[in-house]
């Protein structure tokens, strides 16, 4: 999840989201699911902004893709906060075969 400055125009927001999605794709990410949560009130002021545009990304990627993605968000002037969370996907266990007597 990352938060974009609220003073950006809609087309600039789309450019930022597209740029970050392309970066993830180049790093080998798959199944990218984008959810634009819209403009919301922040819990506290960040860089004199009281609101922010929340973007949530769910994706599958190798661990080596995270560092360049976070670096791009850290260096971007449009992104004011970001958070990366690893979700554990439960493995499907094979069902035990029926024992015949």
Print the SS3 string covering the chain: CEEECCCCCHHHHHHHHHHHHHHHHHCCCEEEEEEEEEEEEEEEEECCEEEEEEEEEEEECCHHHHHHHHHHHHHCCCEEEECCCCCCCCCCCCCCCCCCC
pLDDT at 99: 66
* pLDDT score of 98: 65
Quote the pLDDT of residue 40: 92
pTM greater than 0.85: no
Share of the chain above pLDDT 70, in %: 91
User: What is the average pLDDT across 71-88?
Assistant: 91
Q: Which domains does the chain have, with CATH numbers?
A: 2-82 (3.30.70.60)
Q: Assess whether pLDDT exceeds 90 at residue 51.
A: yes
């Amino acid at each position: 999840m990352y938060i974009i400055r609220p003073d950006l125009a809609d087309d600039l927001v789309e450019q930022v989201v597209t740029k970050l999605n392309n970066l993830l794709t180049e790093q080998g990410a798959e199944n990218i699911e984008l959810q634009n949560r819209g403009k919301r009130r922040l819990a506290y002021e960040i860089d004199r902004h009281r609101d922010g545009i929340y973007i949530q990304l769910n994706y599958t990627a190798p661990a080596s893709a995270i560092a360049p993605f976070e670096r791009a968000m850290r260096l971007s002037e449009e992104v004011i906060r970001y958070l990366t969370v690893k979700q554990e996907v439960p493995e499907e266990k094979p069902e035990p075969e029926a024992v015949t007597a």
